[in-house]
Structure 1
């Protein structure tokens, strides 16, 4: 908060709250739009029946183990959890949005909320595409809100007290996402985030 605003939250609180809400809404919608865009690319060239069959396969099972969490849908590759194309590229949107924030001004916490939102957005993209529904405001989508607590459980500690997603796995997940973030070339172009789209599934 700027120094001139310190101690005056009662005066500026409403405006700050409104700006924060709009920023959060924009962050959510950007991730939702990315998931829809990437899924459209993956489904390109498939007819309606092929699209539905593909989506049914991706949503097979519950939130604990979805085929699309893994490259090539290989659920046996546990070390590559959350490193598939659709997860990495959707998650990359978060890093595109924050890349202009100096490292020392960023939270040191793992970006769990961004990954949970990415997974929720992908599920929503699958559902909308399957049902032929036009995308809307991701923030106001009730199913996404209801699913978030379930998805958050993926990143909690297991019964043995150990993190389900270890620090080493987080490093790989983040690296896979950042591989899709276009590096800044200059300060003049850094305000135009572009996510590179890979070709592999």
Structure 2
């Protein structure tokens, strides 16, 4: 927050709240649009029956173990979970959005919310593609909102207190996503606190 605004939230609160809402909406929609673009690329060239078979194959198991979480849909390779092309390229949108924010202004927390949002966006993109429905506003998608708590459980601690996704696995997931981020071309930095907090909202 700019120093001249400190202590004056009552005066600027409404404007700040509106800006925060718009920033969050833009962040969510950018991830939703990325999922649709990537899935369209993957399905390009497939006929209607092939598209249907491919999409149905992605939902043949529960949200806990979707085939598309894994490279080549190989669920036997747990070390590769959340590192498939679909997940990595969609998740990379988050890092693309925050790449101009200096490290010292970023949350040190793991970007769990961004990965959850990526998974929800991919599920939605598959459904939209299967049903031939236009994308609309991902930020206000009610099914995604309702499904969010279930997806968040994938990244919570197990009953024994251990992390479901280890620090080492997180490192691989993040590295796979960042491999798709375009190099920074400007020294201009952003001080947007909304994006920073949303890394683990």
Alignment TM-score, normalising by the size of structure 1: 0.92
| Distance (whole Å) between structure 2 residues aligned to residue 174 and residue 78 of structure 1 | 15
Moved over 2 A (4+): 185-188
Name the counterpart of 2:175: 175
| Distance (whole Å) between structure 2 residues aligned to residue 5 and residue 114 of structure 1 | 29
Q: Which structure has more RCO (C-alpha within 8 Å, separation ≥ 6)?
A: 2
Aligned length: 190
| Distance (whole Å) between structure 1 residues aligned to residue 57 and residue 159 of structure 2 | 29
| Distance (whole Å) between structure 2 residues aligned to residue 186 and residue 121 of structure 1 | 29
| Distance (whole Å) between structure 2 residues aligned to residue 159 and residue 185 of structure 1 | 45
1 or 2, which has the higher helix percentage? 2
Name the counterpart of 1:64: 64
Q: Deviations over 1:7-61 (max 9, x none)?
A: 1000000000000000000000000000000000000001111111100001111
Within 5 A, what are the aligned runs for 1:100-179?
100-179=100-179
Alignment TM-score, normalising by the size of structure 2: 0.92
| Distance (whole Å) between structure 1 residues aligned to residue 173 and residue 57 of structure 2 | 23
Query: Unaligned stretches of 5+ in structure 1?
Result: 192-201
Q: Deviations over 1:57-107 (max 9, x none)?
A: 011111110000000000010001100000000000000000000010000
Q: Kindly state the Cα deviation for residue 149 of structure 1 after the two structures are TM-superposed.
A: 0.5
User: Aligned with 1:64: secondary structure?
Assistant: helix
Question: In angstroms, what is the RMSD of aligned CA positions?
Answer: 1.3
Query: Unaligned stretches of 5+ in structure 2?
Result: 191-201
| Distance (whole Å) between structure 2 residues aligned to residue 47 and residue 140 of structure 1 | 31
